[in-house]
Amino acid sequence: MRRVLSVLVTAVVVLGLAMTGWAAESTLEKINRTGVFTIGTRTASPPFGYINKQNDHVGFSIDLAKLVHKNIEKKLNKSVTFELKESQPATRIPLLTSMAVDLIAGTMTDTRPRRDSVDFSLTFFVTGAQFLVKEGSPIRGIQDIGGKRVGAQQGSTNERIIRERVPQAQLVVFPDQAAAFTALVQGRVDTYTNDGIQLAGLKVKAPNPAEWKIVGNFYSYEPYGMAMRKNDSDFRAVVNNALMEAIEGGEYFNLYDKWFGPKGELPYPMTDDVKSFLMYQVVPK
Amino acid sequence: MPLTGFLGMQYNFQWSVLWTGGHGEWLIQGIVTTLRLSALAWILASLLGILAGALRTVPFRPLRAVATCYVEFFRNVPLLVWFFFWYFGAPQMLPRAAQDWLNAHGPEFWSAVVGLSVYHGARMSEVIRAGIQSIPKTLLEASVATGLSVGQAYRLIIIPVALRLIIPPATNESLNLLKNSSLALTIGVAELTFMTRQIETYTAKAFEALTAGTLIYLALCLGISATMAQVERYFRIPGLIVRVGRAEH
């Protein structure tokens, strides 16, 4: 019995040491060793990350992550496989910390509490929360939702703001956007709130887009960033440099046009404010 | 507690997020909702299970067929699909006024109760059928010979004996039911798993929240097992069954 115990203890200690060894590995070292760069992204958030009609996993965030991928290959001076995994708001931080993915590139808002757990890249998209309602609904904005049944997505920042700012609203929180939108279509909730751009994505994909209206001023500020493991500044620099080069060299704006331009998946013109904000994030060479 | 390198994760544990900032209240609300949902569903599932389980053994084919249809239909479709059906689908068949009434009275919770009880009722009935069928045919014959009708024999003799026999598998089913109630978060029921995810949302501390959820479910389930073991001991019929050993708790 005692021998079995000592073997077990040794095994646990050795395993523990081995794991500490991995933990010390930086993201770039891990990618270099495995030859794979894995991102976590959305599968149902057009046009940031979604499965299109041809069954391809595509999107604006994925295209930007591909630029990061190119930059990693340049940095490591070897070719690296690019892999996509689905990440939900509730799973994206555990996916990162458990090393299952190297970068979250989806629709994640950069917030201060989240910065305690993960590091963020530059802001790559700016939006704010609004409401999606059926044509003819009395709801015109956050001032009208008291006592109404408001659908929201769990893990989103706007759910939290409603809870704090309009506690009389009856929040119904769903783990994913598809369920929340179905609840709105079936009349289980009176309105669905999320980032304006996501609502626009839902409206475009709805069977009858004219039936739906996006209402209200932005009641939150949602800067989207890519998230990575904390305290890995070399990797962060690779990610940020890829974004800066894309903004500086104009590739970012080509991609923006591809997805949000007049002929894009979801027309959403960029305001001048947002454009200067993006440009000012680029530090000099 | 900073613990770098644990299981290969670079992560700072901060357990206080579980009780500061009102998060403790969320957990308690979550536990209450989980228990309310599970208890209501358990009662309904037991009733449905006893009914369907008994009907599947009666010597009258049409009744057996109805019960078999119920069991096979409901237990062979994933519970998640049933939740979506009862929440998104079923209310559409009601008249508009009934739908409005339902929407004003927490349709998420009641859809989950119905979904969970109908699904687990089907599973529970199999446990009960097994209990009834493990009773020798002679007991039914002897009961009828004393002048009881078949219905009375079932109500007074067969089912009370069967219910005692099936306590261990029924405990299993009850634990499953409690744990399956966590799926109700997909239709917006703010139960325990939902609340642990909610804490994760607010604090970005996923491991602490998930650990809390794990331990609470474990404690609830151990509580149920212990209670059922007591029930088993209390209701046993001395001399009826040769016991190899009783459940240890």
The whole-chain average pLDDT of chain A stands at 89
Give yes or no for a contact between A135 and A211, defined as CB atoms under 8 angstroms apart.
Answer: yes
Q: What is the domain-level CATH number for residue A276? A: 3.40.190.10
Q: Which residues contact B90 (CB under 8 A, 6 or more apart)?
A: B111, B114
Residue B23 lies in a domain: no
Question: Using 50, 70 and 90 to split pLDDT, how confident is the model at A1?
Answer: very low
Q: How far apart are the first and last CA of chain A?
A: 65
pTM of the model: 0.72
Name the residue among A97, A149, A173 with its Cβ closest to that of B11. Answer: A97
Rounded to whole angstroms, how far apart are CA atoms B54 and B159? 8
Q: Tell me, yes or no, whether B20 lies in a domain.
A: no
> Of A193, A215, A237, which one is at a domain's C-terminal end?
A215
Q: Give the ipTM.
A: 0.70
Tell me if residue A214 falls in helix, strand or coil. Answer: strand
Residue A277: both structure tokens together? 């904000």
- The per-residue pLDDT for A254 is 96
Q: Is residue B10 part of a domain?
A: no
CB A270 within 8 A of CB A119: no
Whether residue A120 lies inside any domain: the answer is yes
For residues A15 and A89, membership in a common domain is answered with yes
Of A24, A179, A188, the CB nearest to B107: A188
Least confident of A113-117, A224-228, B171-175: A113-117
- Residue A41: pLDDT above 60? yes
Number of domains in chain A: 2
Domain's final residue, options A197, A215, A233: A215
Phi-psi region of A128 (alpha: psi -120 to 50; beta: other; left: phi over 0): beta
Distance CA(B45)–CA(B180), nearest Å, equals: 13
CB contact under 8 A, B88 and A98: no
CB contact under 8 A, B205 and A117: yes
The answer to whether residues A9 and A115 belong to one domain is: yes
Q: Which of A113, A179, A187 sits opposite B187 (nearest CB)?
A: A179
DSSP 8-state code for residue A109: B
For residues A95 and A144, state if they share a domain: no
Last residue of a domain, one of A215, A237, A260: A215
A78 shares its domain with A153: no
> Do A93 and B206 make contact, defined as CB atoms within 8 angstroms?
yes
Answer yes or no: do A69 and A169 share one domain. no
Strand order in the sheet with A49-51: A44-45, A49-51, A57-58
CA distance A134 to A214: 9
The domain of A207 spans 129-215
Burial class (CB in 10 A: 0-12, 13-18, 19+), B64: middle
User: Do A150 and A200 have their domain in common?
Assistant: yes
For residue B18, is it within any domain?
no
Q: Within a domain: residue A144?
A: yes
Contacts of B202 in chain A (CB under 8 A): 113, 160
pLDDT at B3 over 60: no
Domain co-membership, A234 together with A190: no
Among chain B residues, the shortest Cα distance to A148 is held by B104
Q: What is the pLDDT of residues A53-111, one digit of tens each?
A: 899 999 999 999 999 999 999 999 999 999 999 998 878 888 998 899 999 999 999 99
A35-39, A102-106, B200-204: range with lowest mean pLDDT: B200-204
> CA end-to-end span of chain B, whole Å?
34
Residue B220 has pLDDT above 50, yes or no: yes
Per the structure, the count of domains in chain B is: 1
> Which pLDDT belongs to residue A113?
86
- Considering the domain architecture, whether residues A13 and A115 belong to the same structural domain is answered as yes
**Residue (of B158, B155, B156, B152) closest to B139 by Cα position:** B158
B202 has a chain A CB within 8 A of its CB: yes
Whether A285 is covered by a domain: the verdict is no
In a domain, B26, yes or no: no
How many residues would you count in chain A? Answer: 285
Write down the H helix ranges in chain B.
23-55, 61-75, 79-84, 96-103, 107-133, 137-145, 150-153, 159-165, 167-180, 192-203, 206-235
pLDDT at residue A155, rounded to an integer: 75
Task: For residue B204, list chain A residues with Cβ-Cβ distance below 8 A.
Answer: 93, 113-114, 116-118
Residue B170 falls within a domain, yes or no? Answer: yes
CATH code at position B229 = 1.10.3720.10
Residue B179 within a domain: yes
Q: Do A235 and A150 reside in the same domain of the chain?
A: no
Name every chain B residue with its beta carbon within 8 A of the beta carbon of A233.
none
d(CA B160, CA A188): 43
Chain A interface test: which of B3, B4, B7 (most A C-beta within 10 Å)? B7
Structural domain harbouring B114: 32-235
Put simply, the answer to whether B210 touches A94 (Cβ < 8 Å) is yes
Of B197, B203, B207, Cβ closest to residue A154: B197
Mutation target for B interface from A19, A117, A134, A159: give the one with most B CBs within 10 A: A117
Is B185 in CB contact (< 8 Å) with chain A? yes
Based on the fold, state whether residues A123 and A134 are members of the same structural domain: no
Cβ-defined contact of A174 to B186 (cutoff 8 Å): yes
Is the same domain home to A53 and A172?
no
Statement to judge: residues A56 and A136 lie in one domain = no
